[in-house]
Amino acid sequence: MSGARPIDRFFHPVLLSKKLKSKPVSIDVGSAGLPERVVLFRTSKGKIAATQDRCPHRGSPLSLGELRNDELVCPYHGWRVDRDGATTHPTSGPIKKCRVPTYSVHEADGFIWMASSHLARRASFPDVSEWTHMGSYEIPIDAPLELVLDNFNEDEHFPYVHKVLGWNEEGAHDVQFSCDVRGDELSVNYRGPQRDFFGRSFFMLPKNGFFDNKWVVRFDPVRISYLVTATDCAGNPVAPLRQHVVIYFVPVQKHKTVIRVMQYSSLGNSRWRLLLKMMAPLTIMVSKWDLEHDKHLLEKIVALSPDPGPIRYGTYDEPLLQARKLLRKVYWAEPTRAEVGHERSAQDPEFSL
Ligand code: FES
Ligand SMILES: [Fe+2]
Å from CA of 7 to ligand 1 middle: 27
Q: Alpha-carbon distance 326 to 222, whole Å?
A: 10
Residue with the nearest Cα to atom 3 of ligand 1?
77
- Specify which residues 212 forms β-bridges with: 191, 229
Confidence (pLDDT) at 349: 46
Which of 58, 66, 95 has the most ligand 1 atoms within 8 A of CB, as the residue to mutate?
A: 58
Confidence (pLDDT) at 53: 96
Atom of ligand 1 at shortest distance to CA of 79? 3
Residue 156: what are its φ and ψ, rounded to 5°?
A: -60, -25
Confidence (pLDDT) at 88: 97
Å from CA of 189 to ligand 2 middle: 15
Whether residue 158 lies inside any domain: the answer is: yes
Q: Alpha-carbon distance 129 to 141, whole Å?
A: 30
Domain that holds residue 108: 6-115
Confidence (pLDDT) at 348: 45
Residue 97: what are its φ and ψ, rounded to 5°?
A: 50, 40
Whether residue 340 lies inside any domain: the answer is: no
61 and 206 together in one domain? no
Whether residue 348 lies inside any domain: the answer is: no
Whether residue 343 lies inside any domain: the answer is: no
164 and 229 together in one domain? yes
- Specify which residues 246 forms β-bridges with: 225, 262
Question: How many residues belong to the chain?
Answer: 353
Confidence (pLDDT) at 352: 38
> Concatenated DSSP letters for 189-214?
EEEEEPPP-TTGGGGTPPTT-EEEEE
Instruction: Give the residues surrounding ligand 1 with Cβ less than 6 Å away.
Output: 55, 57-58, 60, 74, 76-79
> Concatenated DSSP letters for 89-150?
ETTTEEEEEEE--B-EEEEETTEEEEESSTT--PPPPPP-TTSEEEEEEEEEESS-HHHHHH
Q: Would strands 12-16 and 71-73 be described as parallel, antiparallel, or unpaired?
A: unpaired
Which of 77, 81, 87, 91 has the most ligand 1 atoms within 8 A of CB, as the residue to mutate?
A: 77
CATH at 145: 3.90.380.10
183 and 262 together in one domain? yes
69 and 185 together in one domain? no
Whether residue 347 lies inside any domain: the answer is: no
Whether residue 78 lies inside any domain: the answer is: yes
CATH at 54: 2.102.10.10
Confidence (pLDDT) at 265: 95
Q: Alpha-carbon distance 351 to 353, whole Å?
A: 6
Confidence (pLDDT) at 41: 97
Q: Which of 82, 115, 148 is the C-terminal boundary of a domain?
A: 115
- How many distinct structural domains can be found in the chain? 2
Confidence (pLDDT) at 277: 93
64 and 211 together in one domain? no
Residue 96 makes CB contacts below 8 A (sequence gap 6+) with none
Mean pLDDT by 10 residues, the chain (353 residues): 74 95 91 84 94 96 96 97 96 95 92 82 79 96 95 96 92 96 96 88 83 96 96 92 95 92 90 90 93 96 83 91 95 74 45 37
Q: Would strands 25-27 and 38-42 be described as parallel, antiparallel, or unpaired?
A: antiparallel
186 neighbors 217 (Cβ within 8 angstroms): yes
111 and 136 together in one domain? no
Å from CA of 65 to ligand 1 middle: 10
Of the listed ligands, the closest to the CA of 294 is 2
Task: Say if pTM beats, i.e. exceeds, 0.75.
Answer: yes
Confidence (pLDDT) at 2: 43
Confidence (pLDDT) at 83: 95
Q: Which of 55, 89, 115 is the C-terminal boundary of a domain?
A: 115
Which of 57, 72, 87, 98 has the most ligand 1 atoms within 8 A of CB, as the residue to mutate?
A: 57
Q: Which of 115, 144, 166 is the C-terminal boundary of a domain?
A: 115
